[in-house]
């Protein structure tokens, strides 16, 4: 991370800037900014599925980026003023009961349909969206195990592995179903992204309870799907990278850690 080289944790500039970013970080946490990744990805997945329905071979398409950004902005407003205050979108922040999982699934399908709708054709293709919904539910079960950050050690921990095997087994099955549906519907985006993501719940299911496996199973499938979505909608890279680096910079000055990150913690209790 370049910012970490410019402002080392022991430098005077870092110490002066830290109180400012602590306040910014607390505001971002209270608003749940990090959960915009999943919300935005679902909307763009709906857009991508629509493009694939029209032309299976369409890639790197900039057409309609203005409407796509407006959809993300409108959905973000709904999230901040409706979903977040009513705890209707709390992926990764807590253990979800069955009723809450169903609620998240319904909202995810609505977000997919919202992204799939166009100005010239209002009705979404609900069948084409099924593999994306299945992939989301697979990832949602992995996020049933919230990570807790230890500020003193600068590491992430998870202390409760109850029903781990059941959750990760169902997550694995759902991801395989997503791949199968993608192949059946001739959707190369979801079938390929799902295939790349299958090993993560599988590794966490087979190997012992390690935080690093859980970190990978949470981050990399979401990252994989987002990057594959950008193959068809490259404009999505701009809001995605902006959010990624804003949160990453704030967390560095706040805690002295690089998060979100492609790396994982290897120190565990």
- 191-207 per-position pLDDT tens digit: 999 999 999 999 888 88
Q: What pLDDT is stored for residue 7 in this prediction?
A: 82
Kindly tell me if the per-residue pLDDT of 267 is higher than 60: no
Instruction: Report which listed range, 97-111, 142-156, 253-267, is most confident.
Output: 97-111
Considering the domain boundaries, does residue 216 fall inside one?
yes
What's residue 146's pLDDT? 80
Contact 71, 114 (CB under 8 A): yes
Say how many domains are in the chain. 1
Residue 108 lies in a domain: yes
Burial string for 217-235 (b: 16+ CB within 10 Å, else e) reads bbbbbbbbbbebbbbbbeb
Query: Mean pLDDT, to the nearest integer, of 29-39?
Result: 94
Q: Give the integer Cα–Cα distance in Å for 42 and 48.
A: 10
Residue 4 lies in a domain: no
> 17 lies in which domain range?
10-255
Q: Per-residue pLDDT tens for 40-85?
A: 999 999 999 999 998 989 999 999 999 999 999 999 999 999 999 9
pLDDT for position 265: 56
Q: The whole model's pTM is what?
A: 0.91
- Residue 26 forms part of a structural domain: yes
Residue 269 domain-assigned?
no
- C-alpha distances in Å from residue 28, one per residue of 31, 128, 243, 251, 264: 5, 34, 11, 10, 22
171 or 121, which is more confident: 171
The overall average pLDDT reported for the chain is 90
Q: State the sign of the Cα–Cα–Cα–Cα dihedral 1, 27, 72, 75.
A: positive
- Please write the tens of the pLDDT for every residue from 212-264: 888 888 899 999 999 999 999 999 999 999 999 999 999 999 888 888 776 66
Position of tokens 């012992």?
208
Give the model's pLDDT for residue 153. Answer: 67
The tokens for 117 are: 């709708």
Residue 268 confidence (pLDDT): 43
Does residue 268 sit within a domain? no
Nearest to 198 by CA among 175, 217, 220: 175
Domain assignment present for residue 141? The answer is yes
Within-domain flag for 115: yes
């Amino acid at each position: 991370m370049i910012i970490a080289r410019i402002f080392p944790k022991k430098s005077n500039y870092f110490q002066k800037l830290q109180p400012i970013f602590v306040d910014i970080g607390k505001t971002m946490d209270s608003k749940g900014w990090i959960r915009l990744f999943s919300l935005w990805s679902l909307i763009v997945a709906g857009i991508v599925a629509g493009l694939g329905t029209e032309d299976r071979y369409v890639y790197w398409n900039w057409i309609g980026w203005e409407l796509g950004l407006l959809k993300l902005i409108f959905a973000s407003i709904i999230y901040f003023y409706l979903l977040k205050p009513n705890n209707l979108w709390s992926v990764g922040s807590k253990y979800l009961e069955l009723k809450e999982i169903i609620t998240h699934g319904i909202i995810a399908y609505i977000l997919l349909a919202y992204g799939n709708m166009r100005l010239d054709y209002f009705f979404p293709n609900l069948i084409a969206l099924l593999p994306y919904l299945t992939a989301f539910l697979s990832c949602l079960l992995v996020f049933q195990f919230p990570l807790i950050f230890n500020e003193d050690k600068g590491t992430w921990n998870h202390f409760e592995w109850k029903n781990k095997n059941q959750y990760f087994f169902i997550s694995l099955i759902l991801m395989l179903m997503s791949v199968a549906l993608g192949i059946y519907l001739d959707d190369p985006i979801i079938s390929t992204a799902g295939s790349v993501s299958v090993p993560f719940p599988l590794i966490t299911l087979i190997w012992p309870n390690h935080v690093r496996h859980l970190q990978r199973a949470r981050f990399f499938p979401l990252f994989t799907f987002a990057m594959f979505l950008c193959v068809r909608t490259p404009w999505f890279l701009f809001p995605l990278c902006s959010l990624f680096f804003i949160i990453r910079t704030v967390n560095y000055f706040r805690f002295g850690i690089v998060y979100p990150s492609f790396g994982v913690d290897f120190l565990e209790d």
